[in-house]
Amino acid sequence: MIDTLRLSAEQATALVARGDVSAAELHRAYIDAIALRDPELHAYLTVCEEHDGGTGIPIALKDVISTKGIRTTAGSKILEGYRPVYDATVTERVRAAGMSLLGKTNTDEFAMGSSTENSAYGPTRNPWDPSRVPGGSGGGSAAAVAAGLAPWALGSDTGGSVKQPSALCGNVGLRPTYGTVSRYGIIAFASSLDQVGPVARNVRDCALLYSIIAGRDERDSTTVDVPAAVSLPEGDSLKGLRIGVPREMNSEEGVDPGVTAAVRTAIEQARALGAEVGECSLPKSVEYGMACYYLIAPAEASSNLARFDGVRYGFRADADDLTALYGRTRDQGFGDEPKRRIMLGTYALSAGYYDAYYGQAQKVRTLIRREHAEVFQKFDLIVSPTSPTIAFRFGEKAANPLAMYLSDIFTIPSCMAGLPGLSIPCGLSEGMPVGLQLIGPQFAENTLFRAGHALEQALAFDVVPGRLR
C-alpha cells in the first residue's frame, strides 16, 4: 500500500522510475486518498479519476489554471461549467514532464481572499484542524498537499496566495520572481502581480517543480528567460549567507506570540548554520504596501473581470435585453468579494480620481521596489513570519474584510516589488503550523532553495498533520 501522507514527489518519482509502481497505480493511490479524506476537507472542485496516460507522477492544479476540456471555475458561479478549449502554458509543461492530472483545487473566488471561504462552491478545511481555514486564496492546493491528496500542486500568488496557505497548512510554497513563469491560460486577477508557483512537501520538491514550469513563453510577453539553471539544494551549511531581519516585519505587535517564538528559533538556527544575521528596515514597504496593493490589484481586477458578461461562456442570467443580461449575470454570478474589489478598482480608475489613487499607488510601488533593492545591497535574503497568525477559525474574520486583508501584511510588500518568496514550515503554535518567509532579490530562487533546504533539515518539521499521523 502506498502511503501518500508521507510520500514526497521526489520519492514518488523514484518509485515509478524503478518500476516499483506504475504511473497509473500511483495515480489511483492518490484518487483513493482523495475519496477517503476529501469529503471532509473539500480541497478539490473537480477530480480526474481516470489516469490520463502520463508516465510520471500526478499533480493537482488550482482552479484558475486552464485545463483543456476540464472544468475550470476560478471558484466562481459565473464560470460554473466552463471548460477551456486550451491548456495554460504551465499545464502544458507539467503534462510534457509526464505528470497526470489529479484534479482542480478549490480557491477563493477569482483568487480573491486569504481563507478559501470566498469560494462559490464552499470552503476548504485545514487538514491540521478542520475547524480552521487553510489560508487563501490557494487553500485547496495547500490542503491537498498537506493531507496527502497530491504529491505537489500549482497555485497562483498575487499578494500571498501561495505563501500564506502553505504557511497555514505546513507546506513549502514558492512565489517566483515575476515573469519567470508564464501567465498564459491563467484566469487573471491582477496582471502585474499574478504569478504561478509550486506548493510541495519539501524544498527539493518545490525546486524541481519550479524548474519544470519556469522559463520564457512567447504567448506571455512579460516572461523572461531564467538567468541561471534551477539547482536542487543540497547540504546544511549557510556559511557566507547574509540574512536581514526587517524590524517592521519581525516585531511582536499584531503577531501571535507562538508565531514570533517559532520564527525567532528559526532565525537563531540560521545563525547556527553559519549565516550572518543582521537587522534591517523596510519602513515604507510595510506602512504603505497594503494600501498600495488594495488600489492596484482591484483596479486591474476591475479591468480583467469586465470580460465576464454572460455572452460568450460561463453563467448567463435570464434577461429581456442586453443591458439587463450584463447586470443580472454579474450580480448573480459574482460573490461579495469580487464585487467589492470591482467597485473599489473602478472607482480608483475613474475620471478625476485616477491620479489621486491608482497613479499615486504606482509611484509608491516604485518606492517599495527601491527600498527592497537598497536592503539587498547589504543582505542576500530577508526573513519574517509568512503570516502574523496561525490558521484562524471559520468565520472569525469573514465579517471584517480589513482584518482578513491583514493576513497578507507580510507577503504583500515583496509581491509589489516582483520579488521571489519562499515559505517553509518552522514550528508549531497551538498545534498548528507556523511559516517562515524567505525573500530574495530578483532571480534569487536558488539562494532561497539553498537556505530553505538547510533550515528544513535543521528544524526537522514533520509535515504530516498531527491528527492524521
pLDDT for res 402:
87
Spatial separation of the C-alpha atoms in residues 121 and 138, rounded to whole Å: 14
CATH number belonging to domain 9-281+370-468: 3.90.1300.10
Spatial separation of the C-alpha atoms in residues 345 and 385, rounded to whole Å: 29
Q: How far is CA 240 from its chain centroid?
A: 30
DSSP 70: S
Spatial separation of the C-alpha atoms in residues 411 and 307, rounded to whole Å: 29
C-alpha dihedral sign at 170, 175, 176, 180: positive
3-state secondary structure of 241: coil
Spatial separation of the C-alpha atoms in residues 187 and 277, rounded to whole Å: 40
On the CB side of 318, CA atoms within 13 Å amount to: 0
- Check: CB of residue 348 under 8 Å from CB of residue 358: yes
pLDDT in tens, the chain (469 residues): 899 999 999 999 999 999 999 999 999 999 999 999 999 999 999 999 999 999 999 999 999 999 999 999 999 999 999 999 999 999 999 999 999 999 999 999 999 999 999 999 999 999 999 999 999 999 999 999 999 999 999 999 999 999 999 999 999 999 999 999 999 999 999 999 999 999 999 999 999 999 999 999 999 999 999 999 999 999 999 999 999 999 999 998 899 999 999 999 999 999 999 999 999 999 999 999 999 999 999 999 999 999 999 998 899 999 999 999 999 999 999 999 999 999 999 999 998 999 999 999 999 999 999 999 999 999 999 999 999 999 999 999 988 988 999 999 999 999 999 999 999 999 999 999 999 999 999 999 999 999 999 999 999 999 999 999 9
Spatial separation of the C-alpha atoms in residues 105 and 367, rounded to whole Å: 36
pLDDT for res 399:
87
Q: Residues 206, 207, 211, CA angle at the centre, nearest 5°?
A: 120
Helix and strand tally (H, E) in the chain? 14, 11
- Check: CB of residue 13 under 8 Å from CB of residue 212: no
Is the backbone of residue 69 left (phi > 0), alpha (psi -120 to 50) or beta? left
pLDDT for res 313:
86
Total residues belonging to the chain: 469
DSSP states of 344-392:
HHHHHHSTTTTIIIIIHHHHHHHHHHHHHHHHTTT-SEEEEESSSSSPP
Torsion of CA 225, 226, 231, 233, to 10 degrees: -150
What is the number of other CB atoms lying within 10 angstroms of the CB of residue 322?
11
Active site residues: 62, 137, 161
pLDDT for res 312:
87
Distances (CA, A) of 409 to 112, 204, 286: 15, 27, 7
Structural domain boundaries in the chain: 9-281+370-468
Spatial separation of the C-alpha atoms in residues 277 and 271, rounded to whole Å: 6
Helix (H) or strand (E) holding 176: none
**Cell digits of residue 190:** 491582477
3-state secondary structure of 320: coil
DSSP states of 86-152:
S--HHHHHHHHTTPEEEEEE--SGGG--SSS---TT----BTTBTTB---SSSHHHHHHHHTTS-SE
Spatial separation of the C-alpha atoms in residues 446 and 433, rounded to whole Å: 24
Spatial separation of the C-alpha atoms in residues 62 and 75, rounded to whole Å: 10
**Cell digits of residue 61:** 492544479
Strand order in the sheet with 242-246: 44-47, 100-105, 58-62, 152-157, 195-200, 172-175, 421-429, 432-439, 381-385, 242-246, 276-280
